[in-house]
């Protein structure tokens, strides 16, 4: 890359200012994977700073996994280890940096997952040979799921995880050029799904109770064909839909039916470990609500299993299409899930996990508040922390051995000028030393480009 492009990008000739400029060039694709950076002395001379200043910037970039040094060969932009991932999904994988405490993953604490051993003993020793003609859902599992479903549901099926459910629902609903409402901020893989389908996303702001009714009303005027929402433990904010907000959103949806009847897709990805009561638009709009319940956070991501319920015509279309692909979700896996949901030992383990996650969120919030960072305990495992400068905060935490996710990856719309930046912290993975972790986060929250030497 032309040295002039790099120097022109530097707004602050400090270590962090130089690092921030290089980071922006890398994330914009102007410095591609494998690109060789100019030498420290070359950049220092061009900027009129000391080599030590540029060296500190290079060290910061290395700390957050953006570049690597190959000795005398020079420094290079790291090759992405997640090239096989979709663009937005890959952003969740984070940078190429090891950390003593990884709070970027958005995944549950493995120590809080229930033991699979007893459930595995219930799996038949030989696979079912009549599977092609049998119902895709085990009857006993369906009865168990219906008993705890947040609203009466006409049809229910089992799929291979929440994203599988949402992907297949969108396949059945949208066409190229359609508009789909998403929360802002939102789970980045939803952006990948919509881009793959050629859809336009319509951002709707969320607050501590869920989607804002006024923002949803404006979005409905654009004629979306679907709405994707997370009713509990919203990723990334940890907010859960309140009873009053659910009722108000239903009112808004009904009052705009003359503009269309978008299908509502609810991703209840953390329901089993959420402390919030379940609220579903299906209680008011059953004919156009698809509710997805995932068990990844409560029972383990590698189980790859979720339930999808909604109006029979739509669910039946999804089931029929799956029969021409994967067919159905293995009934052996369904047996494992059924046992995990009904056995007292595993049910107790999930109940305890819910309690522990809630306690961890509360402990982190209390410590942050004590340090002057306004933060309410979130639901589920993630916390959304405002910071002065996203990249500066991530650099500061990486220097302390803590890895977090940058908030910009979750934004469905360009950030508003002057609005606070954020980091997503997987608070559910903090087991101890809450005061120390909170102190490091609080310090990082005030870091800005040019604030360190």
* pLDDT tens, position by position, 268-315: 999 999 999 999 999 999 999 999 999 999 999 999 999 999 999 999
Is residue 68 within 8 A of residue 38, CB to CB? The reply is: no
Neighbouring-strand partners of residue 155: 310
- Residue 81: pLDDT band by 50, 70, 90 thresholds? low
Q: Which of 282, 155, 305 is closest to 229 using CA atoms?
A: 282
Structural domains of the chain, ranges and CATH numbers in brackets: 3-77 (1.10.10.10), 87-112+347-445 (3.90.1150.10), 130-341 (3.40.640.10)
What is the rounded distance in angstroms from the CA atom of residue 429 to the CA atom of residue 105?
9
Q: How confident is the model at residue 30 (pLDDT cuts 50, 70, 90)?
A: confident
Task: Tell me the β-bridge partners of 156.
Answer: 309
The neighbouring-strand residues paired with 181 are 202, 227
Average pLDDT over residues 182-190: 96
Taking residues 81-95, report their average pLDDT. 62
Task: Kindly report whether the peptide bond that precedes residue 185 is cis, defined as omega within 30 degrees of 0.
Answer: yes
If pLDDT is split at 50, 70 and 90, which confidence band does 59 have?
confident
More confident residue, 444 or 65: 444
Tell me the pLDDT tens digit for each residue of 229-273.
999 999 999 999 999 999 999 999 999 999 999 999 999 999 999
């Amino acid at each position: 890359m032309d040295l002039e492009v790099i120097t022109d990008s530097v707004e602050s000739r400090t270590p962090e200012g130089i690092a921030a400029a290089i980071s922006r060039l890398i994330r914009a694709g102007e410095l591609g994977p494998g690109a060789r950076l100019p030498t420290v002395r070359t950049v220092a001379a061009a900027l009129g700073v000391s080599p030590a200043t540029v060296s500190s910037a290079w060290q910061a970039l290395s700390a957050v996994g953006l570049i690597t040094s190959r000795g005398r060969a020079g420094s290079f932009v790291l090759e992405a280890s997640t090239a096989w991932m979709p663009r937005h999904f890959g952003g969740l994988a984070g940078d190429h940096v090891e950390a003593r405490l990884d709070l970027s993953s958005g995944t549950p604490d493995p120590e809080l997952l229930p033991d699979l051993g007893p459930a595995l003993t219930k799996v038949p020793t030989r696979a079912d040979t009549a599977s092609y003609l049998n119902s895709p859902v085990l009857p006993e599992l369906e009865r168990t799921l219906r008993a705890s479903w947040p609203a009466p549901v006409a049809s229910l099926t089992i799929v291979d995880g929440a994203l599988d459910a949402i992907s297949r629902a969108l396949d059945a609903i949208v066409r190229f050029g359609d508009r789909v409402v998403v929360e802002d901020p939102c789970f980045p893989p939803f952006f990948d799904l919509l881009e793959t389908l050629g859809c336009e996303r319509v951002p709707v702001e969320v607050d501590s109770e869920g989607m804002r009714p006024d923002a949803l009303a404006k979005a409905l005027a654009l004629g979306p064909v679907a709405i994707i929402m997370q009713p509990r433990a919203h990723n990334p904010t940890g907010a859960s839909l309140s009873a009053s907000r659910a009722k108000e959103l239903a009112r808004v949806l009904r009052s705009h039916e003359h503009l269309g009847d978008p299908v509502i897709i609810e991703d209840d990805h953390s329901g089993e470990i959420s402390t919030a009561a379940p609220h579903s638009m299906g209680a008011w709009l059953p004919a156009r609500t698809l509710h997805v319940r995932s068990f990844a956070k409560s029972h383990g991501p590698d189980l790859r299993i979720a339930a999808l319920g909604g109006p029979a015509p739509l669910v039946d279309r999804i089931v029929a299409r799956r029969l021409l692909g994967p067919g159905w979700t293995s009934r052996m896996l369904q047996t494992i899930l059924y046992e995990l949901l009904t056995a007292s030992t595993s049910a107790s383990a999930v109940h305890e996990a819910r309690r522990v996650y809630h306690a961890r969120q509360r402990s982190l919030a209390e410590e942050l508040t004590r340090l002057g960072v306004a933060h309410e305990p979130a639901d589920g495992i993630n916390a959304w922390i405002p910071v002065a400068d996203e990249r500066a905060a991530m650099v500061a935490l990486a220097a302390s051995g803590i890895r977090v996710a940058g908030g910009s990856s979750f934004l469905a719309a360009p950030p508003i000028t002057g609005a606070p930046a954020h980091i997503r912290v997987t608070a559910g993975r903090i087991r101890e030393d809450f005061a120390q972790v909170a102190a490091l986060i609080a310090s990082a929250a005030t870091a800005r480009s040019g604030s360190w030497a």
